[in-house]
Amino acid sequence: MSRPSSEASTYQSLRGQLSYLRLAAAAEALPAELERSAKDSHTAFLHRLLEVEVTATEARRHDSLERFARLPAPWRLEDFDFDAQPSVDGAMVRELASLRFLDDATNVLLVGPPGVGKTMLAVILGRAAIDAGYRTYYTTAAELAARCHKAALEGRWATTMRFFAGPRLLIVDEVGYLPLASEAAAALFQVVSQRYLKGSICLTTNLAVGSWGQAFADPMVAAAMLDRLLHRSVVFNITGESYRMRAHRARAEALRPTGAGGRGASPKSP
Ligand code: ADP
Ligand code: MG
């Protein structure tokens, strides 16, 4: 690079250097920061300028983690109504949201009937992981099985297995909603095996842990998979009624004329 002959050309050259180094945010902030820098030290100026670039880089990285993860909803910890779900240990959820469980590849199993907040809790943990900068990936068991099936047909099995080994947190939603044929169960088993003690899985299922054997085509595969999943794990057995049904009934009750005495409530209510 030629030696600048004046302040103006030094400035142009500096902008050129920032662009060349792909520090676009710093390049853009340069004029304003130079303006402010009259009163500051060189150190303070450079620190501020690079801070702009660091912030922009972090935002880009967060966006990219967010897109990669494909979380199905924007839920966060604050959105979860713990009072409505007494079978969920709130202190444990908060502890998990601190993400220490990722350090020793602990798995999280969310077990319970439809509508009790399993997906919501899984997404909350996924969101916390993304915000902390961890690569996270959300899939349903059915999607995972379909993807592995396609990969096997196209000769990309190994690549696909590497893909599912990659994320720091893998969320596998809705295990057991659809019966998993033996090929699909084998795919899920391999994903679980290769992540065993290496990377956390957060898995949601409507199947009680004791009934996995019957729900899978091959009970041995189911047992081996559970063995690995449970070895280092936190299990939530969520009971109670569907949050959607509860909201639905609350609306219906609010619409009912006063003095009706609450007759006609759903037969499930206590
Ligand atoms: P599941 O995966 O167990 O079938 P979801 O997590 O999809 O249930 O929850 C069903 C719906 O109810 C979602 O819209 C979710 O946001 C809401 N929901 C469930 N539990 C709670 C809760 N404790 N607080 C707030 N919303 C909840
Ligand atoms: Mg769900």
Question: In angstroms, rounded to a whole number, what is the distance separating the alpha carbons of residues 70 and 126?
Answer: 10
Q: Which of 4, 2, 50, 43 has the alpha carbon at shortest distance from 24?
A: 50
Q: Of 80, 93, 108, 120, which is best to mutate to test ligand 1, by the most ligand atoms within 8 angstroms of its C-beta?
A: 120
Higher-scoring residue by pLDDT: 171, 2: 171
Asked if residues 108 and 236 have their Cβ atoms less than 8 Å apart, the reply is yes
The pLDDT of residue 252 is 81
Task: Note the pLDDT of residue 36.
Answer: 87
Distance 93 CA to ligand 1 centre (A): 15
Give the SS3 label for residue 201.
strand
Q: Is the pLDDT of residue 260 over 70?
A: no
What pLDDT sits at residue 267? 40
In our burial notation (b when 16+ CB lie closer than 10 A, e otherwise), range 3-12 reads: eeeeeeeeee
Residue 268: burial class (beta carbons within 10 Å; 0-12, 13-18, 19+): exposed
Round to whole Å and give the CA distance between 193 and 221.
11
Stretch (H or E) spanning 32:
helix 24-36
Which of 20-34, 50-64, 92-106, 242-256 is least confident? Answer: 242-256
pLDDT tens per residue, range 52-80: 999 999 999 999 999 999 999 999 999 99
Decide whether any atom of ligand 1 lies within 6 Å of the 100 Cβ. no
Q: What percent of the chain has pLDDT over 70?
A: 93
Taking only the tens place, the pLDDT of each residue in 197-245 is 999 999 999 999 888 888 888 889 999 999 999 999 999 999 988 988 8
Percent share of the chain, pLDDT over 90: 73
- Which ligand sits closest to the CA of 123? 1
259 has pLDDT over 90: no
pTM, two decimals, is: 0.86
State the distance from the centre of ligand 1 to the C-alpha of 243, rounded, in angstroms: 6
Could you tell me which residues are beta bridge partners of residue 216?
A: 180
Pairing of strands 200-205, 233-237: unpaired
pLDDT at 130 over 70: yes
Instruction: Summarize the confidence of residues 112-137 as an average pLDDT.
Output: 97
Cα distances from 93 to residues 106, 125, 170, 237, in angstroms, run: 14, 8, 17, 13
Which comes out higher in pLDDT, residue 267 or 71? Answer: 71
Residue 180: DSSP 8-state: B
Mean pLDDT of 20-35: 93
Please check whether residue 146 is in contact with residue 181, taking contact to mean a CB–CB distance below 8 angstroms.
Answer: no
